[in-house]
A and B are shown apart, each in its own frame.
Chain A
Amino acid sequence: GAVVSQHPSWVICKSGTSVKIECRSLDFQATTMFWYRQFPKQSLMLMATSNEGSKATYEQGVEKDKFLINHASLTLSTLTVTSAHPEDSSFYICSAPTGTLGGYTFGSGTRLTVV
């Protein structure tokens, strides 16, 4: 089945630094990747949609300069959290539509802690 590999699974960084999260589709081509953020005990909130070869579409209230998304190839989408602050600490998870019933495959998520 379709697999999305997400790395790293967890990361701790200092305030003010940047962190890059990668989502790689292993056995299919992902023209679209959705990026979600999930705070503890809350739902998945859609942050942005990345499309291969074009600019990402951000949801209302999401700072595009802070959360840089790149989708340079059909198998790789990245999310960079720039100048991270403790309030950016969260679980970030990516998802790609697979075109099959059941529709989506998710990465395993990245737990980001900013200290």
Chain B
Amino acid sequence: AQKITQTQPGMFVQEKEAVTLDCTYDTSDPSYGLFWYKQPSSGEMIFLIYQGSYDQQNATEGRYSLNFQKARKSANLVISASQLGDSAMYFCAMREGPNTDKLIFGTGTRLQVFP
């Protein structure tokens, strides 16, 4: 069964606008961590934001915020004030349980920012 689901293979957004990238997850473990990474065409993985399952508040990092809805098991990434340099693949990932460091990735969303 798919643990991490990203239903948007591609998204377009105009520069300076906000965009939401969807991510839903599936776990029965009460302790887990959710991550978002950006992968430009060079292939490097750039960490954007982290949300722990017990965190009371939604995580924010600069222009990135995570809309964490625990009951719905969703962890959507919101990018505000999009920039041309935001064009890349975006992956949602989950670390499941307190006793593992294994990180499982979703299928990714390709974001394209146009002027």
Q: Do A and B come from one complex?
A: yes
User: Do A109 and B102 touch across chains, with their CB atoms under 8 A apart?
Assistant: no
User: Do A93 and B45 touch across chains, with their CB atoms under 8 A apart?
Assistant: yes
Known: A44-B91, A108-B43, A109-B44. A102 touches B105 (CB 8 A): no
User: Do A103 and B35 touch across chains, with their CB atoms under 8 A apart?
Assistant: yes
By a CB distance below 8 angstroms, the chain A residues around B47 are 102-104
When C-beta atoms are compared, the residue in chain A nearest to B107 turns out to be A43
Most A CB contacts (10 A, CB to CB) among B43, B95, B108 go to B43
Describe A's contact surface by its main secondary structure. Answer: strand
By a CB distance below 8 angstroms, the chain B residues around A46 are 102-105
A26 to B43 CA separation, bound complex (whole angstroms):
20
Using a Cβ–Cβ cut-off of 8 Å, how many residues does chain A contribute to the interface with B? Answer: 22
User: Do A109 and B103 touch across chains, with their CB atoms under 8 A apart?
Assistant: no
By a CB distance below 8 angstroms, the chain A residues around B106 are 43
User: Do A102 and B44 touch across chains, with their CB atoms under 8 A apart?
Assistant: no
Residues of A57-115 whose CB lies within 8 A of B: 91, 93, 95, 97, 101-104, 106, 108-109, 111
State the B residues within 8 Å of A (CB): 33, 35, 42-45, 47, 50, 91, 95, 101-108
